[in-house]
Amino acid sequence: MKANNKKIRNDIILICILCVTAAVACFFLYFKADNAEKMQLQILIDGELIETYDYSTDEDFYKEIALDIGNTIVVENGQIYMKEANCPDGLCIKQGEISKDGQSIICLPHKLVVRLVELSRDNFSENDGLDVMPR
Amino acid sequence: MTQNIQNKDIKIVGKLHSKAQFVAIVGVMAAFAAILSYIETIIPFSIWIPGVKLGLANIAIVVILCLYGAREAFAVNIVRILVVGLLFGNMFSISFSLAGALISFAVMVLAKKTDLFTIIGISVTGGVAHNLGQMIVASVVIETYSVVYYMPALMIAGVITGIIIGMVGKIILKYMTKIVKNKR
């Protein structure tokens, strides 16, 4: 019985550690660069940078980007979202709007990544990530 | 009373003596896991984050891992993924779920080996490992590291689904233990 209580305690410790790790990771990932001035909208297919657009937070800025692979990306009121997609799961549409540095919309069936990158962090393009990001 | 049952839960209860027993139990549990996988496709539990699943099939895996051992659980895992993948998916989904399942399975076996956790703890490590594993595979496939931004959400989701799966698995393990003990 004693051993069992210990195991339940271990369970709780494990869950707490995982939650704290997630919270710390969350803090580092989301709250580091909130108001980046100049951001760039990058479209990657299969890891390669296909197109880039200047990102504008203007209220009445509207742009629709249609890709050959069947995805339509919309920039509206400073929010970027996937309007249409012909992938089977449609998860990229459900991912909603992005507007901050580092955020991305990912369509796995098409190997498509739409991401916002702060211009000063320009080295974060293409395969440079291999050296920078932890694995 | 409840403490008594909990005590029994942790030990490996059964030992498979013959090949026939092995085939029979693996077959039954794989069928159970396949049905759970199918039920999961019916339940609309698709969060906007790619890679997050309820992981109902993990109930069968955790139970057999605690009831028998890693060898039996591995067999159930492989059979389940192939059957479900061929019935409802394609090669793409098979390779994806295979990656997630194998990573989560390896971590669960380690968690079981340390003998530190109850079935709930094992299931939580499995859930988190599954989600993180799929995230890593996804980041390799699309060659981007933007997926790292989903990490916290995936971890929390893994913990929550892991607790649910572990609790259900605990109840099932209780009855399975009784059955296995009566048979001997």
Q: Which two tokens stand for residue B128?
A: 């988190």
What is the distance between the alpha carbons of residues B158 and B52, in angstroms, rounded to a whole number? Answer: 8
Q: What is the mean pLDDT of chain B?
A: 81
Q: Are B117 and A109 a contacting pair at CB < 8 A?
A: no
B142 touches chain A (CB under 8 A): yes
DSSP notation for B90-140? -HHHHHHHHHHHHHHHHHHHHHHHHT-S-HHHHHHHHHHHHHHHHHHHHHH
Q: Which two tokens stand for residue B163?
A: 């607790």
Q: Are A72 and A133 in contact (CB under 8 A)?
A: no
Q: Are B143 and A19 a contacting pair at CB < 8 A?
A: no
B70-88 and B19-42 helices cross at what angle (nearest 10)? 40
DSSP A36: -
Could you confirm whether domain B2-183 is CATH 1.10.1760.20?
A: yes
Q: What ranges do the domains of chain A cover? A: 1-32, 39-132
pLDDT recorded at residue A56: 66
Q: Which two tokens stand for residue A76?
A: 């509206």
pLDDT recorded at residue B4: 44
Least confident of A10-19, A114-123, B127-136, B148-157: A114-123
Predicted confidence band of residue A120 (pLDDT cuts 50, 70, 90): low
Range 98-117 of B in CB contact (< 8 A) with A = 116-117
Q: B29 CA to chain A: closest CA distance, Å?
A: 26
Q: A132 CA to chain B: closest CA distance, Å?
A: 10
Residues of chain B scoring pLDDT < 70: 1-17, 44-52, 144-146, 183-184
A42 DSSP β-pair partners: A52, A115
* CATH level 2 (architecture), domain A39-132: Sandwich (2.60)
Note the ipTM here.
0.72
> Among residues B49, B104, B160, B157, which one has the least CA distance to residue A89?
B49
Q: What ranges do the domains of chain B cover? A: 2-183
Q: Which amino acid is at B77?
A: N
| Residues 6 or more apart whose Cβ sits within 8 Å of residue B161 | B52, B53, B54, B55, B127
Q: Which two tokens stand for residue A111?
A: 């190997």
Q: How far is CA A46 from the centre of its chain?
A: 16
Q: pLDDT exceeding 70 applies to what percent of chain B?
A: 82
Q: pLDDT exceeding 90 applies to what percent of chain A?
A: 3
Q: Are B121 and A14 a contacting pair at CB < 8 A?
A: yes
Per-residue pLDDT averaged across A86-98, rounded? 80
> How many angstroms separate the Cα of B78 from the Cα of each of A97, A129, B33?
38, 34, 11
Q: Are A4 and B7 a contacting pair at CB < 8 A?
A: yes
DSSP notation for B30-85? HHHHHHHHHHHHHS----SSTT----THHHHHHHHHHHT-HHHHHHHHHHHHHHHH
